[in-house]
Amino acid sequence: MQKKDIGLGLLVITVGAVVALVNPRFLSPINLANTANLIGLFGLFSIAEAFVIVTAGIELSIGSVIALLGVIFIDLIASHGVPWPIALVIVLALSIVIGLLHGRLITRLKLQPFVVTLCGLLIYRGIARFYTKDGTAGFTFGTDLPMLDYVFVGRSAGVPHSVIAFGIFAVAAWVLLHRTVFGRHLLAVGKNEEAARYSGINTRRVIVTAYVLCMFLTGVSAVFFAMYTKSVQPSSHGNFYELYGIAAAVLGGFSLRGGEGSIIGVVLGVVLLQMLQNLVNLLGIPSSLNFAVMGTVILFGVIADTQFRTYRERRRQAIARSALTENSSAPSGISA
């Protein structure tokens, strides 16, 4: 565990204690279960965002993709009678296609990730609204398809399945990023893409794979959100979710410059953000301030990251100068 993760973990514990003292309802079983469910829901696409940020990229279309895939998933089952496992496969396949498209536009046409994903944000939201004729896609699968409802909305031993899914994908992401060759390639590309290319890494393939992983996890998140809300209003569903993912990743130590980050940090970042939002709700503060909270978190996260990098660079330079001074003042050891 990195020092940043330990510090963030202590901050999570501190904030949790403060929230519990401010309002004891925070520790009620119902509130804890609801908060845990939201941590699982928002955590899935936060991990997705992290895989792109580590390559020095950005993914701004997550919210729009969640809306588009959500309405498609609902429509396939409710309007066309497609069995839900097949509908799930179709949605996940579409998410992979979107990831491939973004990755290839960035690597083959040399387009900026910001531009590609910003266009995606607008395009996918527009397609979702056109697909439903700007209406709401909804369903009541609880009685008609109890297994579907149980898989995505149910609980096992009192634990929401969204949290279980988040935990499984978080462990898989941790192993992939921190314990595999591909993870080292991701970090190398984010640190210095040109140097990684000269060292023999297929940087194009690494970047495309990062966007595919991001969109695949976003597709999983889209299905969970569709089942959680039981309806999708394409004009507002998933709005600003990409900012939440960026905030969680930045809090978790993923630098927007790329090349570093911790999956454990992302998990802690998601928990912290949900605690803060829960505090806003418990205190009766207008929910519109949630965006202000996220914006403030991103700002302080970037400031902290910049200051940490500056401190580390100065410390490295000081150590180098000290070593150089010692070497130059040491006796040569040559005798006549």
Residue 333 is predicted with a pLDDT of 53
Average pLDDT over residues 90-95: 97
Distances in Å between the Cα of 14 and the Cα atoms of 11, 34, 94, 160, 336 are: 5, 20, 41, 25, 66
| Spans of all domains in the chain | 3-325
One DSSP character per residue, 213-249 reads HHHHHHHHHHHHHHHHHSEE-TTTTTTTHHHHHHHHH
Please write the tens of the pLDDT for every residue from 181-203.
Answer: 999 999 999 999 999 999 999 99
Residue 18 is predicted with a pLDDT of 84
Contacts of 114 (CB under 8 A, 6+ apart): 58, 60
CA dist 98 and 92 (Å) reads 10
Count of residues in the chain: 336
Residue 331 is predicted with a pLDDT of 62
Average pLDDT over residues 41-47: 95
Please write the tens of the pLDDT for every residue from 262-287.
Answer: 999 999 999 988 888 887 777 777 77
Compute the C-alpha angle 59/62/67, nearest 5°. 160
- pLDDT exceeds cutoff 80 at 16: yes
Q: Which helix (H) or strand (E) holds 156?
A: strand 155-156
Residue 288 is predicted with a pLDDT of 72
Residue 336 is predicted with a pLDDT of 41
Average pLDDT over residues 10-14: 87
The answer as to CATH 2.30.29 being correct for domain 3-325 is no
- Reported as a pLDDT band with limits 50, 70 and 90, residue 229 is confident
Residue 24 or residue 142, greater confidence: 24
Please write the tens of the pLDDT for every residue from 96-111.
Answer: 999 999 999 999 999 9
Average pLDDT over residues 125-140: 86
Please write the tens of the pLDDT for every residue from 296-313.
Answer: 777 777 787 677 778 777
Residue 241 is predicted with a pLDDT of 92
- Closest residue by Cα to residue 170 from 287, 59, 276, 39: 39
Mean pLDDT check: name the lowest of 85-89, 133-137, 310-314. Answer: 310-314
What's the longest Cα–Cα distance across the chain? 96
Task: State what percent of residues in the chain have pLDDT above 90.
Answer: 54
- Ranked by mean pLDDT, the top range of 3-12, 76-85, 132-141, 292-301 is 76-85
Please write the tens of the pLDDT for every residue from 51-67.
Answer: 999 999 999 999 999 99
The per-residue pLDDT of the chain, averaged, comes to 88
CA dist 54 and 211 (Å) reads 11
Handedness of CA 76, 80, 84, 85 (dihedral sign): negative
- 19-22, long-range: CB within 8 Å, 24+ apart, which pairs? 19/275, 19/278, 19/279, 19/282, 22/279, 22/282, 22/283
- Reported as a pLDDT band with limits 50, 70 and 90, residue 141 is low
